[in-house]
Amino acid sequence: MAKNLVIVESPAKARTIARFLGKDYEVESSFGHVRDLPKKGLNIDIEDSFKPKYEVSADKKKVVSSLKKAAKNKEVWLASDEDREGEAIAWHLTKALGLDTDKTKRIVFHEITKPAIENAIKNPRTIDEKLVDAQQARRILDRLVGYELSPVLWKKIQGGLSAGRVQSVAVRLIVDREREIKDFDTKSAFKITATFIDKEQEFNGELTRQIELYGDAKSWLEEVENASYTVTNVSSKPSIKNPSPPFITSSLQQEASRRLGYSVRQTMTLAQRLYENGDITYMRTDSTIMSELALKAAAEYIYKEYGQKYAKTRQYKTKQASAQEAHEAIRPTDFKKTSISGDKQQNNLYKLIWQRTLASQMASAESKRTEVKIEISTKKEDHFIVKGEVLLFDGFTKVYGTTNEDSILPSLKDGQKLNCIKVIATETFSRPPARYSEASLVRKLEDLGIGRPSTYAPTISTIQTRGYVEKTNLEGSERQVRIIDIKDKKLTEHTDTVITGADKGKLLPTPVAELTTDFLVKYFARIVDYKFTAKVEEDFDDIAEGKESWDEMLKRFYDFFHPLVEKTEDIKRSEVAKARKLGDDPVTGEPVFARLGRFGPLVQRGDAEDKTKKPAFAPLPANTTLDSVTLEQALTMLALPREVGKTSDGKLITANFGRFGPYIKVEKQFISIKPLDPLTITEKEARDKYNEQQKKVAERNIQEFDSGIKVLNGPYGPYVTDGKKNARLAKRIDPKRITESEAKELLAKKS
Look at phi and psi of residue 274 and say left if phi exceeds 0, alpha if psi is from -120 to 50, else beta: alpha
Residues in the chain, how many? 751
Burial classification of residue 417, based on how many CB atoms lie within 10 Å of its CB (0-12 exposed, 13-18 middle, 19 or more buried):
exposed
**What 3-state DSSP class applies to 171?**
helix
Tell me how far apart the alpha carbons of residues 723 and 744 are, in angstroms, rounded to a whole number. 12
Count Cβ neighbours within 10 Å for each residue of 98-123 and write b for 16 or more, e otherwise: ebebeebbbbbbbbbbeebbeebbee
Beta bridge partners of 712: 701, 719
Contact yes or no for 460/264 (Cβ under 8 A): yes
Contact 126, 104 (CB under 8 A): yes
CB contact at 8 A, 149 and 563: no
Give the alpha-carbon dihedral of 139, 144, 149, 154, to 10 degrees: 80
Pick the catalytic residue from 282, 310, 400, 436. 282
Q: List, as one string, the DSSP characters of 329-362.
A: -B-BS-TT--S-SS-HHHHHHHHHHHHHHHHHTB
Q: How far apart are CA 78 and CA 491, in angstroms?
A: 79
Q: What does the alpha-carbon distance between residue 163 and residue 189 come to, in Å, rounded to a whole number? A: 44
Calculate helix-pair angle for 438-448, 530-544, nearest 10 degrees: 70
Give, in order, the Cα–Cα distances in Å from 465 to each of 22, 461, 462, 708.
Answer: 45, 6, 5, 38
CA-nearest of 193, 174, 190 to 430 is 190
Cα–Cα dist 594/627, whole Å: 8
C-alpha triplet 222, 225, 231: angle, nearest 5°: 125
- Which DSSP symbol is given to 710? E
Cα Rg, the chain, nearest whole Å: 33
Q: Are strands 477-487 and 417-429 parallel, antiparallel or unpaired?
A: antiparallel
Cβ atoms of 109 and 117 closer than 8 Å = yes
Between the alpha carbon of residue 154 and those of residues 147, 151, 732, the distances in Å are: 11, 5, 51
From the list 11, 538, 402, 458, the residue with the least C-alpha distance to 249 is 458
Please give the Cα distance from 203 to 212 (Å, whole number): 25
Task: Kindly report the number of other CB atoms within 10 A of residue 641's CB atom.
Answer: 16
Say which residues have a Cβ less than 8 Å from residue 285's Cβ, sequence separation at least 6: 83, 248, 249, 323, 325, 326, 327, 328, 329, 330, 453
Contact (Cβ atoms closer than 8 angstroms) between residue 498 and residue 479: yes
Beta strand pairing call for 75-78 and 4-8: parallel
- Catalytic (active site) residue 282: yes
Distance of CA 397 to the CA centre of its chain: 29
Q: Are 616 and 604 in contact (CB under 8 A)?
A: yes
Q: Give me the DSSP letters along 456-503.
A: HHHHHHHHHHTTSEEEEEE--EEEEEEEEEEETTEEEEEEEEEEES-E
Catalytic residues: 282
